[in-house]
Amino acid sequence: MNKKSTHGVFGLLLPEIGRALSDAGYETPTPIQEQSIPSLLEGRDMIGCAQTGTGKTAAFTLPILQFLAKNEKPLVSRKPRVLILAPTRELAAQILDSVVQYGRHTKTSHAVIFGGVGQNPQVKALKRGVHVLVATPGRLMDLINQRHIDLASVEIFVLDEADRMLDMGFIHDIKRVIAMLPKKRQSLFYSATMEPQVVELARTLVHNPVYVTVTPNKPTVERINQKVMFVAKGDKDKLIIDLLKSEKMNRVMVFVQMKHVANKVAGKLEDAGITAAAIHGNKSQGARTAALANFKSGKVRVLVATDIAARGIDVDNVSHVINYELPKEPETYIHRIGRTARAGSEGEAISFCCAPERNYLRTIENLIKTAIPSDLKHTLHCDLSMNATGEDAKPAPRVQRGRSQAPARSSNSPRKQSYGRCQSRSRSR
């Protein structure tokens, strides 16, 4: 996002909040922030039609933090003052990250609760008392039923990604939550789409709302030349080295899911004589800053990053984005490829897809409503990856505790193939 002025609606925020924005390198509000922050600071309800990637999270988090800072009250056990409901754990965790980041110079206390992990640490935090609670609907209902949460003191309620909530079947949970909220409250409702069912739900929640609509970043995405390359998992290093050696890619961001993969890929590239640096959460701030400076100056050609580490990084003239691993959350794909084609320039995004990632690609294509063109000509092209379906098209389940534990693969349904290497080359997508 462009960084020209330090003014706009950010000037309405308390100095301690402004300081956190400077720490994050934000200087200019995004359009949704420009449009929402003044009304939200006045306590108005809101219906926002906006997607992730527009700066929506800060648009609602900043006024919430300001409200809490200006209306301090002692913490009350089990009774949050702000409830933010999100459909997925990933989104809930990301929202909490924003609350932590923007609230770092305030006295806000916060917690996130979601399923799939043990509830005890969550219950402990609630018992101590939090100002801001970020939650997914299932775990929220569980803990309400067990009387670990009481919504009677909620002053601000945010329902994020309402359309996805409905798609995921959370409507009954949401209605129950709304029924438990105090009548006097501020309500914020966000959805990427506004089909009738969504509007109907919004009506039950808000009172005399301000409407804010932000057109998704379509034009940028349209300027990006997207391509997918189906490849065996074990051939990804060869493929990336091959592309970087032969193509004119001068400033390349490579995205991976895991920190150790970032290190591995950067190492392999360096071994192949391609200048590269890795950034991820295990690197010290100093190491991250240095890697970024070297990438910006052109000293290193390739920056390998995890999604979390890449958040908030703003580099112009990225010629190519390579998705060495596809993201689990389809919205992340849009964030990633948006790193190229900034400031009106054209960009290219190449995604590697091996068999266990095949379903991620399908979800991404559903979200962007486009089949990403595939490059079948490369010698490392792999039909097995391209045509994977069923269990073969999913990542191997990780063992987790809790209610959304993935079922263990039974011994009579083994993976049909080992996808380490690939020989087949027929053409049928």
Least spacing, CB of residue 51 vs ligand AMP, in Å: 7
Based on CB atoms, which residue is closest to ligand AMP, 99 or 201? Answer: 99
For ligand AMP (CB under 6 A), the number of binding residues is: 15
Contact mark string toward ligand AMP, 346..385, x via CB under 6 A:
----------------------------------------
Which of 29, 87, 347, 356 binds ligand AMP (CB under 6 A)? It is 29
Least spacing, CB of residue 358 vs ligand AMP, in Å: 26
Q: Which residue has the CB atom at the shortest distance from ligand AMP?
A: 57
Over the range 254-268, which residues count as b (16 or more CB within 10 Å of their CB) and which as e? bbbbebebbbbbbeb
Per rule CB under 6 A, is residue 35 in the interface with ligand AMP?
no
Least spacing, CB of residue 33 vs ligand AMP, in Å: 6
Query: Where in 41-60 is the site for ligand AMP (CB under 6 A)?
Result: 52-58
Distance from first CA to last CA of the chain, Å, rounded?
36
Kindly report the length of the chain: 429
Per DSSP, the three-state class of 243 is: helix
Based on CB atoms, which residue is closest to ligand AMP, 190 or 230? Answer: 190
In the sheet that holds 210-213, the strands lie side by side as: 110-113, 132-135, 82-85, 156-159, 186-191, 46-49, 210-213
Which of 1, 12, 123, 241 binds ligand AMP (CB under 6 A)? It is 1
3-state helix, strand, coil in the chain (%, to 5): 45, 15, 40
Contact mark string toward ligand AMP, 243..272, x via CB under 6 A:
------------------------------
Q: What number of other Cβ atoms are within 10 A of residue 87's Cβ?
A: 21
Which of 182, 298, 312, 390 binds ligand AMP (CB under 6 A)? It is 312
| Selection from 350, 349, 339, 364 nearest residue 279 by Cα | 339
Stretch of residues binding ligand AMP (CB under 6 A), selected from 29-37, 122-130, 139-147, 239-247: 29-37
- The answer to whether 119 and 133 have CB atoms below 8 angstroms apart is no
Based on CB atoms, which residue is closest to ligand AMP, 55 or 356? Answer: 55
Whether the CA torsion 27, 30, 35, 37 is positive or negative: it is negative
Whether the CA torsion 350, 351, 352, 354 is positive or negative: it is negative
What is the spatial distance between Cα 379 and Cα 131, in angstroms, rounded to a whole number?
Answer: 56
Least spacing, CB of residue 264 vs ligand AMP, in Å: 25
How far is C-alpha 364 from the chain's CA centre?
13
Least spacing, CB of residue 367 vs ligand AMP, in Å: 15
The binding site for ligand AMP (CB under 6 A) comprises 1, 26, 28-30, 33, 52-58, 311-312
